[in-house]
């Protein structure tokens, strides 16, 4: 009750002149965060693999009023690149105020196919690179008493069907960063850690992967991006977006008791989805509304 009634004293001025890294900023929620930060007058360093897309996002950021905007392209499958991105911030700004960790590698939405290498690669991209960036950025963040923002998901709080590898990487983030937060408190390290628990958001990639299988209406990526920045600036421990996911999460123990409900999938759509697989969807898993 205290958490949700905490005073909302956010002002966009809080981001003016701040030096912010946004990962996975070439599309989706990361791209929208870059635009909000630009409008607020922050310095932004954007990261993703596709240079052509990043170039366009940087141009738009400059039009919107960013104090400065630049990008580094490369893949976060490689932790050496994670360190390189933070070094770039050090070289250009000599410091850092906010590290927004948002990128993810490609996930399929289907029965776990037994591909252990895919799980390893996803853990490297979605989890280990977050750890590597945090380690390299920590001296600068301690100096500025800055913030780390970690973008996670409802799938990082509860298991659901068809997202086993992805869900594992998001659970790993929760374990690592909530443990680190305790250490910061013990050591009086004034660096905030905000974990963002998101529900279904209308980004192109999410819509491509699951819109045919999930009936729930997705929430808008623009508003989602703003809420992430706001919660980071306010140094909140967790963000839940959209707010409706809180009810779902409070009910989780009950849902588990009834066998993993909560995802409202149409059996009809699911049948279609699984056609390639020649397997029948297990109706019982998806019956509850």
Ligand X SMILES: NC(=O)C1=CN([C@@H]2O[C@H](COP(=O)(O)OP(=O)(O)OC[C@H]3O[C@@H](n4cnc5c(N)ncnc54)[C@H](OP(=O)(O)O)[C@@H]3O)[C@@H](O)[C@H]2O)C=CC1
Question: Tokens 């945090």, residue?
Answer: 134
127 binds, among ligand X, ligand 0GV, none (CB under 5 to 8 A by kind): none
* Interatomic CA distance for residues 134 and 18, integer angstroms: 18
The smaller minimum CB distance to ligand X, of residues 75 and 144, is found at 75
Alpha helix stretches (DSSP H) within the chain:
28-39, 51-64, 79-93, 116-123, 129-144, 164-186, 204-210, 221-233, 245-250, 252-257, 267-273, 283-286
Residue 276 main-chain phi, psi, to 5 deg: -55, -30
Q: Is 53 a residue that touches ligand X (CB under 6 A)?
A: yes
DSSP reduced 3-state for 260: coil
Considering only 75, 110, 144, 178, the residue that binds ligand X (CB under 6 A) is 75
* Interatomic CA distance for residues 112 and 116, integer angstroms: 10
Shortest CB 151 distance to ligand X, Å: 4
- The span of 12-20, 200-208, 257-265, 277-285 binding ligand X (CB under 6 A) equals 200-208
The smaller minimum CB distance to ligand 0GV, of residues 1 and 250, is found at 250
Beta strands at 192-198 and 147-153: parallel, antiparallel or unpaired: parallel
C-beta of residue 16 within 8 angstroms of C-beta of residue 42 = yes
35 binds, among ligand X, ligand 0GV, none (CB under 5 to 8 A by kind): none
Shortest CB 223 distance to ligand X, Å: 13
The smaller minimum CB distance to ligand X, of residues 67 and 206, is found at 206
Q: Is 102 a residue that touches ligand X (CB under 6 A)?
A: yes
The smaller minimum CB distance to ligand X, of residues 34 and 40, is found at 34
Shortest CB 10 distance to ligand 0GV, Å: 25
Consecutive H or E run containing 73: strand 68-73
- For residue 189 the two structure tokens come to 């390290």
C-beta of residue 61 within 8 angstroms of C-beta of residue 41 = no
262 binds, among ligand 0GV, ligand X, none (CB under 5 to 8 A by kind): ligand 0GV
Q: Is 153 a residue that touches ligand X (CB under 6 A)?
A: yes
* Interatomic CA distance for residues 106 and 43, integer angstroms: 28
The catalytic residues are 166
Note the residues at the interface with ligand 0GV (CB under 6 A). Answer: 107, 109, 153-155, 158, 160, 163, 166, 199-200, 205-206, 209-210, 214, 248, 262-263
Footprint of ligand X (CB under 6 A): 24-30, 48-50, 53, 75-77, 102-105, 125, 151, 153, 198, 200-201, 203, 205-206
């Amino acid at each position: 009750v205290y958490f949700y009634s905490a005073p909302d004293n956010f002002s966009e001025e809080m981001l003016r002149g701040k030096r912010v890294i946004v990962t996975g900023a070439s599309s989706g929620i990361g791209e929208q965060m870059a635009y909000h930060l630009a409008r607020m007058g922050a310095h932004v360093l954007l990261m993703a693999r596709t240079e052509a897309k990043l170039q366009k996002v940087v141009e738009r950021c400059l039009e919107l009023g960013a104090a400065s905007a630049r990008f580094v392209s490369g893949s976060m499958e490689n932790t050496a690149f994670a360190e390189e991105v933070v070094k770039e911030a050090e070289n250009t700004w000599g410091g850092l105020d906010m590290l927004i960790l948002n990128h993810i590698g490609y996930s399929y939405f289907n029965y776990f196919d037994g591909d252990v290498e895919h799980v390893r690669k996803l853990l490297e991209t979605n989890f280990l690179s977050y750890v590597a960036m945090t380690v390299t950025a920590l001296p600068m963040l301690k100096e500025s008493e800055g913030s780390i923002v970690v973008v996670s998901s409802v799938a990082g709080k509860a298991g659901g069907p068809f997202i086993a590898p992805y869900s594992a990487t998001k659970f790993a983030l929760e374990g690592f960063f909530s443990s680190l937060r305790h250490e910061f408190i013990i050591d009086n390290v004034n660096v905030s850690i905000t974990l963002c628990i998101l529900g279904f958001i209308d980004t192109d990639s999410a819509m491509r992967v699951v819109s045919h299988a999930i009936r729930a209406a997705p929430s808008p990526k623009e508003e989602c991006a703003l809420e992430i920045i706001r919660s980071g600036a306010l140094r909140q421990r967790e963000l839940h977006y959209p707010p409706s996911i809180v009810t779902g999460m409070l009910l989780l123990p009950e849902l588990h008791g009834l066998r993993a409900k909560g995802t409202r999938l149409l059996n009809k759509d699911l049948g279609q989805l699984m056609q390639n697989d020649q397997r029948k969807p297990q109706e019982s898993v998806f019956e509850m509304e």
